């Protein structure tokens, strides 16, 4: 009997990790992350455009419920044809999103100057 396939761990950009650490310590402004979503189909690395929006919204709704955040506490911009979305949220919210199985990778939306 084969065991269920576990999703790979989310790959997190070191710059995003640095920004999350700084923002958490300082209780600073929201952190912006670019998220690549994992396809639910084995035949594709990127979710279909219609599935991307649904997947992104499902993840954000789940995390918002887990952390007790209102919809206005985060901002989400979905790029359905690419399988990506950009999230702007408090560091704890972003951190929780990084642990969701639907998130394949994450990187900082803004780089150091």
Domain count, the chain: 1
Domain residues for 77?
A: 28-108
Is 94 part of a structural domain of the chain? yes
Is 56 part of a structural domain of the chain? yes
Please give the model's pTM, rounded to 2 decimal places.
Answer: 0.83
Q: What is the 3-state secondary structure (H, E, C) of the chain?
A: CCCCCCCCCCEECHHHHHHHHHHHHHCCCCEEEEEEECCCCCCCCCCCHHHHHHHHHHHHHHHHHHHCCCHHHCEEEEECCCCEEEEEECHHHHHHHHCCCCEEEEEECCCCC
Q: What is the pLDDT of residues 64-85, one digit of tens each?
A: 999 999 888 999 999 999 999 9
Q: What is the pLDDT of residues 2-55, one digit of tens each?
A: 444 455 688 999 999 999 988 876 666 799 999 999 876 665 677 788 899 999
What was the pLDDT predicted at 110?
87
Residue 92 pLDDT > 60, yes or no?
A: yes
What was the pLDDT predicted at 66?
95
User: What's the CATH number where 59 sits?
Assistant: 3.30.70
Report whether 59 contacts 96 (CB < 8 A).
no
Is 11 part of a structural domain of the chain? no
Is 3 part of a structural domain of the chain? no
């Amino acid at each position: 009997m084969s065991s269920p396939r576990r999703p790979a761990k989310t790959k997190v950009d070191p710059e995003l990790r640095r920004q999350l650490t700084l923002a958490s310590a300082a209780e600073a402004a929201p952190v912006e992350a670019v998220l690549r979503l994992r396809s639910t189909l084995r035949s594709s690395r990127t979710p279909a455009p219609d599935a991307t929006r649904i997947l992104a919204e499902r993840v954000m709704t789940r995390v918002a419920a887990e952390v007790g955040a209102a919809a206005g506490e985060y901002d989400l911009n979905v790029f359905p044809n690419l399988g990506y979305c950009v999230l702007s949220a408090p560091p704890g919210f972003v951190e929780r999103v990084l642990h969701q199985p639907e998130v394949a990778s994450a990187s900082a939306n803004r780089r150091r100057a």
